[in-house]
Amino acid sequence: MKDWQTMCPNIFEEHGSFTCSDHRPIIVFSDNMLHRQKAFPFRFQNFWCQYRQVDTIIAKNWCTNVTGTNMFKIAKKLKLIKHEVKGWSKSHFGNFQNKVAYNMQHIEYVEDKLLSNPDSFRLNAWMTCLLKQREKMMLT
Protein backbone atom coordinates (compact mmCIF):
# COMPACT_ATOMS: atom_id res chain seq x y z
CA MET A 1 0.00 0.00 0.00
CA LYS A 2 1.30 3.43 -0.91
CA ASP A 3 2.16 5.94 1.85
CA TRP A 4 -0.51 8.42 0.78
CA GLN A 5 -3.15 5.66 0.85
CA THR A 6 -2.48 4.96 4.53
CA MET A 7 -2.80 8.67 5.35
CA CYS A 8 -5.88 9.19 3.15
CA PRO A 9 -7.78 5.90 2.77
CA ASN A 10 -10.68 7.63 0.97
CA ILE A 11 -8.45 8.72 -1.93
CA PHE A 12 -8.21 6.71 -5.18
CA GLU A 13 -6.19 7.13 -8.31
CA GLU A 14 -7.09 6.33 -11.88
CA HIS A 15 -4.81 6.40 -14.89
CA GLY A 16 -6.25 7.95 -18.05
CA SER A 17 -5.58 6.90 -21.61
CA PHE A 18 -2.69 8.11 -23.75
CA THR A 19 -4.47 8.46 -27.09
CA CYS A 20 -3.07 11.91 -28.00
CA SER A 21 0.24 11.90 -26.17
CA ASP A 22 2.90 9.65 -24.73
CA HIS A 23 1.83 10.82 -21.24
CA ARG A 24 -1.07 9.39 -19.25
CA PRO A 25 -3.00 11.64 -16.86
CA ILE A 26 -3.39 10.53 -13.26
CA ILE A 27 -6.79 11.38 -11.84
CA VAL A 28 -7.12 11.50 -8.06
CA PHE A 29 -10.56 11.46 -6.43
CA SER A 30 -12.18 10.59 -3.13
CA ASP A 31 -15.07 8.25 -2.43
CA ASN A 32 -17.20 11.34 -1.71
CA MET A 33 -16.72 12.35 -5.33
CA LEU A 34 -17.88 8.93 -6.52
CA HIS A 35 -21.35 9.38 -5.07
CA ARG A 36 -21.88 12.84 -6.53
CA GLN A 37 -22.83 12.47 -10.16
CA LYS A 38 -23.67 15.77 -11.74
CA ALA A 39 -26.10 15.90 -14.63
CA PHE A 40 -24.40 16.32 -17.98
CA PRO A 41 -25.03 19.87 -19.28
CA PHE A 42 -27.42 20.21 -22.21
CA ARG A 43 -25.70 20.73 -25.54
CA PHE A 44 -27.71 21.41 -28.66
CA GLN A 45 -26.30 19.30 -31.49
CA ASN A 46 -26.23 21.06 -34.87
CA PHE A 47 -27.15 17.91 -36.78
CA TRP A 48 -30.53 17.88 -35.01
CA CYS A 49 -31.57 20.75 -37.31
CA GLN A 50 -31.73 18.25 -40.17
CA TYR A 51 -34.80 16.59 -38.61
CA ARG A 52 -38.30 17.99 -39.11
CA GLN A 53 -39.34 16.83 -35.64
CA VAL A 54 -36.95 19.38 -34.12
CA ASP A 55 -38.47 22.19 -36.22
CA THR A 56 -41.92 21.12 -35.02
CA ILE A 57 -40.80 21.02 -31.38
CA ILE A 58 -39.24 24.48 -31.61
CA ALA A 59 -42.21 26.03 -33.43
CA LYS A 60 -44.74 24.51 -30.99
CA ASN A 61 -42.90 25.63 -27.86
CA TRP A 62 -41.97 29.06 -29.24
CA CYS A 63 -45.67 29.80 -29.86
CA THR A 64 -46.55 28.88 -26.27
CA ASN A 65 -48.19 31.75 -24.42
CA VAL A 66 -46.07 32.70 -21.39
CA THR A 67 -46.71 35.63 -19.04
CA GLY A 68 -43.96 37.70 -17.49
CA THR A 69 -41.18 40.01 -18.59
CA ASN A 70 -39.73 39.59 -22.07
CA MET A 71 -36.56 37.98 -20.71
CA PHE A 72 -38.61 35.56 -18.57
CA LYS A 73 -40.70 34.62 -21.61
CA ILE A 74 -37.61 33.83 -23.68
CA ALA A 75 -35.98 31.85 -20.86
CA LYS A 76 -39.17 29.86 -20.23
CA LYS A 77 -39.64 29.04 -23.93
CA LEU A 78 -36.01 27.96 -24.26
CA LYS A 79 -36.41 25.74 -21.19
CA LEU A 80 -39.52 24.12 -22.70
CA ILE A 81 -37.69 23.53 -25.98
CA LYS A 82 -34.66 22.10 -24.17
CA HIS A 83 -36.78 19.66 -22.18
CA GLU A 84 -38.66 18.36 -25.20
CA VAL A 85 -35.61 18.20 -27.51
CA LYS A 86 -33.68 16.25 -24.84
CA GLY A 87 -36.47 13.69 -24.66
CA TRP A 88 -36.71 13.48 -28.45
CA SER A 89 -32.94 13.02 -28.78
CA LYS A 90 -32.81 10.31 -26.15
CA SER A 91 -35.66 8.35 -27.75
CA HIS A 92 -34.35 8.90 -31.30
CA PHE A 93 -30.59 8.40 -30.80
CA GLY A 94 -30.18 6.78 -27.40
CA ASN A 95 -27.93 8.00 -24.61
CA PHE A 96 -25.00 9.84 -26.22
CA GLN A 97 -22.85 9.85 -23.06
CA ASN A 98 -23.17 6.07 -22.74
CA LYS A 99 -22.05 5.65 -26.36
CA VAL A 100 -19.01 7.87 -25.76
CA ALA A 101 -18.14 5.99 -22.55
CA TYR A 102 -18.51 2.65 -24.37
CA ASN A 103 -16.18 3.90 -27.12
CA MET A 104 -13.61 5.05 -24.52
CA GLN A 105 -13.69 1.63 -22.83
CA HIS A 106 -12.87 -0.01 -26.17
CA ILE A 107 -10.07 2.49 -26.80
CA GLU A 108 -8.51 1.77 -23.41
CA TYR A 109 -8.81 -1.99 -24.01
CA VAL A 110 -7.10 -1.73 -27.41
CA GLU A 111 -4.38 0.56 -25.96
CA ASP A 112 -3.59 -2.05 -23.32
CA LYS A 113 -3.35 -4.75 -26.00
CA LEU A 114 -1.16 -2.51 -28.18
CA LEU A 115 1.35 -2.14 -25.33
CA SER A 116 2.16 -5.84 -25.59
CA ASN A 117 1.80 -6.09 -29.38
CA PRO A 118 2.43 -2.65 -30.99
CA ASP A 119 2.96 -4.04 -34.52
CA SER A 120 -0.41 -5.79 -34.73
CA PHE A 121 -2.13 -4.66 -37.91
CA ARG A 122 -5.54 -5.73 -36.61
CA LEU A 123 -5.18 -3.81 -33.33
CA ASN A 124 -3.87 -0.68 -35.06
CA ALA A 125 -6.73 -0.78 -37.57
CA TRP A 126 -9.23 -1.24 -34.74
CA MET A 127 -7.68 1.69 -32.85
CA THR A 128 -7.89 3.90 -35.94
CA CYS A 129 -11.54 2.95 -36.39
CA LEU A 130 -12.36 3.67 -32.73
CA LEU A 131 -10.61 7.05 -32.82
CA LYS A 132 -12.49 8.04 -35.98
CA GLN A 133 -15.73 6.91 -34.37
CA ARG A 134 -15.01 9.01 -31.28
CA GLU A 135 -14.11 12.04 -33.40
CA LYS A 136 -17.31 11.68 -35.40
CA MET A 137 -19.37 11.45 -32.21
CA MET A 138 -17.73 14.56 -30.78
CA LEU A 139 -18.20 16.61 -33.96
CA THR A 140 -21.88 15.83 -34.42
Pair 14, 27: CB distance under 8 Å: yes
Pair 62, 81: CB distance under 8 Å: yes
Please list the pLDDT of the chain residue by residue as tens digits (140 residues).
556 666 676 777 777 776 666 677 777 767 655 455 666 788 888 888 888 999 999 999 999 999 999 999 999 999 999 999 998 988 887 777 788 888 889 999 999 998 998 899 999 999 999 998 888 776 65
Domain boundaries along the sequence of the chain? 8-38+96-139, 46-93
Give residue 43's pLDDT: 84
∠ CA 91-92-95, rounded to 5° = 65
Give residue 61's pLDDT: 95
Give residue 56's pLDDT: 95
Give residue 31's pLDDT: 65
